[in-house]
Structure 1
Amino acid sequence: MSWTTVADVVAAICLLGGSLLAFAAGVGLVRFPDLLARMHSATKPQVLGLILVLIGLALRLRNGPAVWMLVLVVAFQLLTSPVASHMVGRAGYRTGKVRSELLVVDELTADQNAAESEADARDAAPGL
């Protein structure tokens, strides 16, 4: 068995695994009931699925510049996906889309109330 055959088999496994994870993320977006659960299904398996697909593609291509381009795609996905889901979660929380009865720990409400009271105090103070 040669190296190319092993690489092709591993590439096929990675491509299939990544495709299944991306499909599971899509099903989770449709089936989960609330915003936070949908966000979780949109970020976790989707990112891992994309990474597996790109690893499979890199193993199949075996071309230096193309592999480095795929590494950049993975790096940018790992950097932007958590930030984007965090911002969507905060926006959903502030607009009332999050079901607060399902939260175990709710630290954002205290921070939000403190920020609102500081803003009210600043608006009420004359000459500032």
Structure 2
Amino acid sequence: MTILAEILMILGAGFLLVAAIGLIRLRDPLQRMHSGTKAGTLGTSLLLAGVMASQNVESRASGFLAVIFLLITLPIGAQLLGRAAYVSGTALQGIEEDPLADELDRPEPEEVEN
């Protein structure tokens, strides 16, 4: 069980590292949000699963509840942040045609200097 716990924790730390690199390297706020929430949720869940695998049965319940809480709240928060960024007029990089132009009111995005 110790080897499984170590593997899960290493994988979780790897995904958290990918999330951190994505937050630094990606230029668009929506891409940053995607990187932070997807890889961050998976990394944190794997890290908690590794900790739960190395603990006794009583400690696993709180870890399981923490993972469920993360899986419920982080995607909802990411969706709300993405919507707020879109509606505020944030420039979308790499998108030629706006798929939500007919659905949401949005000011014209300002040109971003590279």
Fold equivalence (TM over 0.5): yes
| 1:75-116 CA-partner distances (Å, limit 9, x unpaired) | 010000110000000100011114176166612x21224xxx
Q: How many matched pairs?
A: 105
Structure 1: 4+ residue segments shifted above 2 A: none
Q: 1:37 to 1:9 in 2, by over 3 A?
A: same
Counterpart amino acid of residue 22 in structure 2: G
Partners in 2 of 1:78 and 1:98 — Cα distance?
A: 28
- Which has a greater percent of helix? 1
> 2:108 maps to which residue?
none
Which secondary structure does the structure 1 equivalent of 2:67 belong to?
A: helix
Q: Is the 8 A contact 1:92 1:98 kept in 2?
A: no
Unmatched runs of 5 consecutive residues or more in structure 2: 106-114
Note the residue ranges of structure 1 that are not aligned, 5 or more in a row.
Answer: 1-6, 114-128
Q: Is the 8 A contact 1:39 1:85 kept in 2?
A: yes
Percent sequence identity over aligned pairs: 30
Q: Are the aligned partners of 2:28 and 2:93 in contact in 1 as well (CA < 8 Å)?
A: no
The answer to whether residue 15 in structure 2 is matched with residue 21 in structure 1 is yes
RMSD (Å), alpha carbons: 1.6
- SS for the counterpart of 2:99 is coil
C-alpha distance in structure 2 between counterparts of 1:66 and 1:99, whole Å: 44
Q: Deviations over 1:11-33 (max 9, x none)?
A: 11111110010011011001101
Larger radius of gyration: 1
| TM-score normalized with structure 1 length | 0.76
